[in-house]
Structure 1
């Protein structure tokens, strides 16, 4: 069966996830984003899920409202033979950063200016992850 070319696809899902990520980092509600764009919050939900495609002019508007370049929405995609593919670590990173804990951790971590403290936190997290892996065996 031939696929409908107007149907949303993996790239639409990726772009939608980037919209959701940026909106969450700005602590903006779907309703507020919808107001800024002139659409309902339900439409924003559909964009973020990738079930509705985001047109070029809407993507342009999103980049201004969310204060990012248009290319931000495509970060993490790479050209691959026969189409586009996400980089190897993208699913892990995106799943984490889209979770409420991931967003909160990224925001808090980015406020730490001392690189030595940031390194010690990273070492702590790695140690805890290794201990958790041993405990679950």
Structure 2
């Protein structure tokens, strides 16, 4: 009978969790540190990242604030089909990420890498 029940979390929950994890790691935060900013345990952060627990609207706003990104960015990337179908969105993400690189040497290296990949 368990197989006929609707699962608590789905593909969208897992995709949102992956985006939360990716951004947390970009910022160099541990699950405990993010949990501290949110007033929750690291276990709860882990459940959000794994897609085990759904993120409420209130927690989504808190997460976006703690991760220093707009809620729309968290939600937009939560739909993997939308990211794949929207190359302009990927370009915008690339430009935004590139803009956060402070080192001129790293920026140059990224440009060289991208130019090399584009030539293939």
How many residues are treated as equivalent by the alignment? 105
Unaligned runs of 5+ in 1: 79-83, 91-105, 131-137
Q: Secondary structure at the match of 1:75?
A: helix
**What CA deviation, in whole Å up to 9, does each residue of 1:50-90 have, x standing for no partner?**
11100000001111111111011123356xxxxx8344389
Higher strand share: 1
| Deviation >6 Å, runs of 4+ | none
Normalised by the length of structure 1, the TM-score is 0.61
CA distance in 2, matches of 1:16, 1:41: 14
Unaligned runs of 5+ in 2: 87-96
Question: Which structure exhibits the higher relative contact order, with contacts defined as CA atoms closer than 8 Å and separated by 6 or more residues?
Answer: 2
TM-score, normalised with respect to structure 2:
0.68
For the Cα contact (< 8 Å) 1:18–1:72, is it kept in 2? Answer: no
Name the structure with the higher helix share. 2
